[in-house]
Structure 1
Amino acid sequence: MLPRYYCKVSIRLNSTFSKIVENAPKISDNENWLNSLEIPNPASSLISGNKSWKTGDKFPFEIISNNDARNFKGQRFIDLKASLRYFTSINYLQEFNKHKHKRSQGNFIDVRIVKCKSGIGGNGCISFFRDANRRIGPPDGGDGGDGGSIYIQAVDSMDSLAKLKTTYIAGDGENGATDQLDGAVGKDILIKVPRGTVVHWCMDPKKVREYVQGKLQDSDATKDKSLRSILENNMLELKCVATDRYRQDVPHIQMFRNSYEVGEGWIYKGQTEEFHTSKDWFKDLKEKVKLYDYDLENAEHYQDTIPLFGIDLDEVSNEPICLLKGGKGGLGNMHFLTSLIRNPRFCKVGRNGLEQHFMFELKSIADFGLIGLPNAGKSTLLGAISNARPRIGHWEFTTLCPTIGTVSLGIDEPTFTVADIPGIIEGASQDKGLGLEFLRHIERSRGWVFVISLERPDPLSDLELLINEVGGLEKVETKSIMVICSKADVHPEVTAGPESTRGKYIKMEEFCSRRGWETMPISALRGENLEILKMKMFQSLGGRVER
């Protein structure tokens, strides 16, 4: 802890009665501080500064090197690589997507890449007390103010990322001043996001566009490949903090500041750097202050990390989470007065902040998600069983953004939520139609409801297509599955045979029963079987709703 006895408010009050700065650190105070500096214990720093964050969904990665190499703080780094698709958004690359579908989402934005920059610490001050009877008094240069930090907080009052800016820049700390006054602290930035947002570290979108454009110009390498496959098959190398028990076995991406090296970062007045570095007294001081720099870097290395899988803000944050920490302010010359250094004409510069890009990804929190082809009747069903009023039409892609409705079983009875997402077509996994980007809104859902229209020629083939597009049976069977056959009231004139509505439903029922899935026919327009459907959906949640 740096020696300091009074706050700067007290300094202003005392200056009314005396021009002499009474609270400048004494020689013995500074020498005791310098002699007490030591290389910090990394383990104790990790324990005291550990914060438990819930992380996003895991994805595969490969460790490139893990040779147990450690830096001076005792931290072990590992190099790993993972698919580029996890560190960017395909929404920012639509100019390269030959299958893109023009859509209008209004004010609903569920992915936003934001550039964040924390503030630079202010420089220390080189100053000496002066009055009428003393030309040069003791050093009284104050410390620079710390740079502002970037914070994030999940709130219930938002349901979209539309209000997020593209850039957030925290304020820089101001330089220290005479009379031992510290510089003002830089302004912090608080980014409020909806509950259910996952924050990932990501690449600069401009660099990703340049990379993808270069790949697309190589016609042989990208022949018959989609934009998604280009991102999937190209790997990004990252330096991470090795997993340990303080990190809960989750790799953390290490972010690095472009600050001065340990032992550097001095500001000189009156004499050059060469003059100071040639003096033994300064060499000795510099070696001791190196330990202070070690301590700063140790704190930065621990603070400047983010989980590889992102930070999952699935609950309202009671306190803001620090995303990027501002730079520490530099030391004023008052800290360098010793028995050998009576007139320290030097101080320390402030530490740099961090500039990084982060991807904010909103995942709606609903108990059920509706999955179906375009115009399968999902929106009609949602409007019939819930309080939602989705847009309904007879053309494909009527639903262009997720809609969440609350389903009530009656007065004073439990409720649950259902999310409707845009229709999925064949090739959606290759970004045809509206792609699969909206699947994020039902990833958290405990149950998936496949809505299959019996008006279609082969409803069973439609179900198999949807299963393949959303990830196959292996992924589907991780959820509680229901198959709802909509438009069961169409073609009443065909009463028998495999082409009849009943024949199509029987084939669907046989397919679902083999997998233990609940299935039932409905007519949303006529309100047939809707009350039974709501009860079965509630029962598939185990008769309970998590809130």
Structure 2
Amino acid sequence: MLFKDEVEIWVTAGKGGDGSKSFRREKYISKGGPDGGDGGDGGNIVFLVNPHLRTLSHIHNRQKFYAENGENGKRKQMHGRNGEDKVIEVPPGTVVWDVETGNQLADLTEPWNKTIIAHGGRGGRGNVHFKSATNQTPFYAESGKPGESYHLRLELKMIAHIGLVGFPNAGKSTLISRLTNARPKIANYPFTTLEPHVGVMTLDDAYTSVLIADIPGLIEGAHRGKGLGIEFLKHIERTKVLLFVLDVTDEPEKHFNVLREELKAYSEKLYQRPFLIALNKKDLLSEEPSQREQFFSRIAPCFLISALTGEGLKELKIALYQAYQQEEQKEFPDDTSSSQR
């Protein structure tokens, strides 16, 4: 299925049913009073977070969604049926924006949570409510109210704890396949990864696991629209820790500086995120790059690894988990179970 992380739609909640203008018509009662029932409420537009979804591809761009209208009131004070809600399923991490105002209406992260985005109109009252001492036969009933209507933009920002950042061919796809259960396409040419991937990294203890996201590789000038990675940086905005994956055989110092500048140009908040460094493709070196490793170790925790052979990955996994745990404890200092979030 084609990956899609942004779509515009229109939604309209159901109109409330009209109240009934009815009078009792029974044998031997020549002048029956009002007995018009109320109209039913219109259905709502409801967003349901489905944890099994990973993309917005099931929603067509510029698609229109309508909830059911409420039923009109009936005679004998019978209430009209409420309209059925229109439920739209979205993946976790979906942000709902009002296109007209630019306001964020919802940030949908909790699995199976339901959120009403557009409320249905209230049903009108039947004429039985308007009987009075001076008006025994009211010929008036309320009309149902229209439902809310919105022009929406849905934006998917994947939920992950750690984000991988690197140039094309730095080995990120191979690395995430070794660290987690993700199975991205892997090949030796640029932009193999055409969509973000999220995998679960588990340590020896089954309870200690975190989500890691891999995005398409960045290149210099990405913030000006070059390459593919800039389109997917929003998928690591929610992460607490970044891992810079650098090809140790291909100017890692230069690439690191470029990556940092691209992040800064995109988001100062993302640029300030704590990070670790993985010097990948150790298996291609004929000798230990001690000076290079020392250079990066002065910047951040640095690990010389080979995603292909698995060398150094155990130490990297532990360090990643510890870094994530530290950030969790900063956010939830009094919650001893925060590391299991």
Verify same fold: TM over 0.5. Answer: yes
CA distance in 2, matches of 1:468, 1:451: 15
The answer to whether the aligner puts 1:487 opposite 2:270 as a matched pair is no
What's the C-alpha RMSD, in Å, of the aligned pairs? 2.5
SS in 2 for 1:535: helix
The answer to whether the aligner puts 1:537 opposite 2:320 as a matched pair is yes
Amino acid at match of 1:471: K
CA distance in 1, matches of 2:307, 2:33: 85
Q: Which runs of 5+ in 2 are unaligned?
A: 327-337
Instruction: Indicate conservation of the 8 Å contact 1:459/1:508, yes or no.
Output: no
What are the within-5 Å matches in structure 2 for residues 328-477 of structure 1? 328-410=122-204, 412=206, 414-456=208-250, 458-471=251-264, 474-476=268-270
The answer to whether the aligner puts 1:314 opposite 2:109 as a matched pair is yes
Instruction: Indicate conservation of the 8 Å contact 1:371/1:420, yes or no.
Output: yes
CA distance in 2, matches of 1:378, 1:438: 15
1:127 to 22, 43, 50: 22
Residue equivalent to 1:180: 77
1:506 to 286, 291, 313: 291
SS in 2 for 1:436: helix
Q: Deviations over 1:87-134 (max 9, x none)?
A: xxxxxxxxxxxxxxxxxxx34332232221101111122222123434
Instruction: Indicate conservation of the 8 Å contact 1:416/1:545, yes or no.
Output: no
Q: Give the C-alpha shift of residue 446 in structure 1.
A: 1.3
1:201 to 89, 98, 107: 98
Provide closer, same or farther for how the CA distance between residues 466 and 413 of structure 1 changes in structure 2, counting only shifts above 3 A: same
Instruction: Indicate conservation of the 8 Å contact 1:197/1:362, yes or no.
Output: yes
What are the within-5 Å matches in structure 2 for residues 13-412 of structure 1? 106-164=1-59, 166-203=63-100, 238=101, 308-317=103-112, 320-410=114-204, 412=206
Q: Give the C-alpha shift of residue 452 in structure 1.
A: 1.1
TM-score, L = length of structure 1: 0.56
Amino acid at match of 1:119: G
CA distance in 1, matches of 2:39, 2:45: 19
CA distance in 2, matches of 1:400, 1:538: 27
Please say which of residues 359-368 and 347-356 is displaced more in the overlay.
359-368
Q: Give the C-alpha shift of residue 413 in structure 1.
A: 6.7
Q: Deviations over 1:183-232 (max 9, x none)?
A: 221111222322332222224xxxxxxxxxxxxxxxxxxxxxxxxxxxxx
Q: Which runs of 5+ in 1 are unaligned?
A: 1-105, 204-237, 239-252, 254-307, 496-500
Amino acid at match of 1:470: L
Provide closer, same or farther for how the CA distance between residues 477 and 509 of structure 1 changes in structure 2, counting only shifts above 3 A: farther
Structure with greater proportional helix content: 1
Instruction: Indicate conservation of the 8 Å contact 1:366/1:444, yes or no.
Output: yes
CA distance in 1, matches of 2:238, 2:120: 34
Instruction: Indicate conservation of the 8 Å contact 1:460/1:508, yes or no.
Output: no
Q: Of the two, which has the highest radius of gyration?
A: 1
Instruction: Indicate conservation of the 8 Å contact 1:326/1:353, yes or no.
Output: yes
Q: Give the C-alpha shift of residue 511 in structure 1.
A: 5.1
Instruction: Indicate conservation of the 8 Å contact 1:196/1:365, yes or no.
Output: yes
Instruction: Indicate conservation of the 8 Å contact 1:156/1:316, yes or no.
Output: yes
Provide closer, same or farther for how the CA distance between residues 475 and 128 of structure 1 changes in structure 2, counting only shifts above 3 A: closer
SS in 2 for 1:381: helix
% same residue: 38
CA distance in 1, matches of 2:205, 2:254: 40
Q: Deviations over 1:63-106 (max 9, x none)?
A: xxxxxxxxxxxxxxxxxxxxxxxxxxxxxxxxxxxxxxxxxxx3
Q: Give the C-alpha shift of residue 349 in structure 1.
A: 1.1
CA distance in 1, matches of 2:271, 2:23: 73
Q: Give the C-alpha shift of residue 138 in structure 1.
A: 0.8
Amino acid at match of 1:506: Q
CA distance in 2, matches of 1:198, 1:396: 30
Residue equivalent to 2:311: 528
Q: Deviations over 1:131-167 (max 9, x none)?
A: 3434442111222211111122323333332334533
CA distance in 2, matches of 1:337, 1:310: 41
Which stretches of structure 1, 4 residues or more, deviate above 6 A after TM superposition?
none
SS in 1 for 2:283: coil
Q: Deviations over 1:376-419 (max 9, x none)?
A: 11011112222222111111110011112222333657232211
CA distance in 2, matches of 1:184, 1:476: 50
Q: Give the C-alpha shift of residue 327 in structure 1.
A: 0.6
Provide closer, same or farther for how the CA distance between residues 386 and 466 of structure 1 changes in structure 2, counting only shifts above 3 A: same
Provide closer, same or farther for how the CA distance between residues 395 and 335 of structure 1 changes in structure 2, counting only shifts above 3 A: same
CA distance in 2, matches of 1:336, 1:128: 12
SS in 2 for 1:470: helix
